[in-house]
Structure 1
């Protein structure tokens, strides 16, 4: 039984990791850490775990020592130093934050205000989007789990970008996310009175997932991909809907594009390309590790529109982290993630 630890186990991502890993047949949660709740039981923070998981929050060092693989569910900037020490102890590390999502240090510094503290570690790490980097993930000791918005937009665009079917500039990603995407710490925008019965854009053309998406897609096609990314907050707990507007290089036949998507994702269990005429909806992926993609063509304006939906806490975060864990450990990718979406 593989021993798995979670550093930052009491935030939304950490708690979701605990919930999902509790249904995994090949790993055991060896420990969780929390600075704020050290010494307290997980069930005293989340009553849903009462008499199911009574783990006591301990120090980061204790979790590292007793674990074979470690999830780091921490704010950006806090994982690098921990991973540097963990790798020296031959631990596998999956960073749920942004510290290992970038290969370009200048981009990371511009958007996160920090430097790489160990360049060798970043050379060893891999961007953990399974549908793109599965073989590299399989051999890596450090995996940077993608951002939730980034996952949704990248999965929407990968078949088009890799097939050189659209213009690489002028892409627009109009995305909506539930409140959990803001994390557990309360902010002005996540106050009930500010988000209930409301729908608002935030960090307009200034969101940190923009450079992550651009770098990932640019690396795929070896051209400079640019997009306008606008996130919105909607008053639901979880879920992301991304409507992505692209310009085809040539006049297209939607049926042929649909076939290309089906071919591209034919071996991807967690990505479902919906039949033409269907529209992706958050409700159809909620509480699952699935991503639904639907395709639409505005012939009058030559715009190919892709709608991508996923649960931001699962395929957009904890579930994808576990999918990466399954890959690196040689398990079935479905292990612990086979739950079907909620039907209502």
Structure 2
């Protein structure tokens, strides 16, 4: 019988703390669609301040945040957005920008560090005066930190260069900042400076920050005014949303300072994995709270089988490919949980453990 659970599937699995639950129960609320919810207003003002932007708006999810942002910047159907081939918007948001907004994606190869070559981005920009056959480029999207390449961070210098390129060609820059607080913490850069070049940023509050629900989009006042209308159009407007925003305010205060510890625990786990025969992990790729590790060829183990064995011992991770597994650390994972996980993975490569797990 499993008596312990270590949930490393994602940092979205965190549970509200008692302080969050208290804040939710006592939240001052009103109708946010009418623009009167005071707690939502407090959260939006605070997030705009942190990000160094004029205004902000709360949305139910990061997917909606990115969708709304792209559609605001690409108001004309048939517009084109340049984004990485491994970006979350391109891979994991159900093609929403195309299905709902009629926006065409033009992908550029993501490098192992999550960047795209500046020259390749510029080469992908269409010239509307000379090109009658292709969509019109209106937007460039970055992701920071970049989940699919292991939570690596995009530097402020690189972001500034992409911002300069966007302005040179009259384009906008959006950052999918689902884990921007992780990136800022890892890089040691203030968040407002990290996103200074961006015209908009979508920030998830239910990942490493640990709130139960929600994301915030930040940008100019005119951008947010358009975003608010689009949010309503696609069903993202909510009434007494202050109940959720109250938890997010607590999360900003309580959990952002804990992100450095999450990163430290991720490196502790990755270092332990690197010393287990049958496991391969690139230590240089572990920049924040996300770890990708591989089952070595010839080990008589697959990623799926290892995940099944670990689940029988209360450890939850996600197989990504036939040989790859992802683990994500968060503030509700302890160092003891990390050591327990390493012990179980070590034993998983011993025949008697595998037999007992059947």
- TM-score class, shorter-chain normalisation, is 0.3 to 0.5
**TM-score of the aligned structures, taking structure 1 as reference length:** 0.32
The structure in which a higher percent of residues are helix is: 2
**Bigger Rg, which one:** 2
**TM-score of the aligned structures, taking structure 2 as reference length:** 0.31
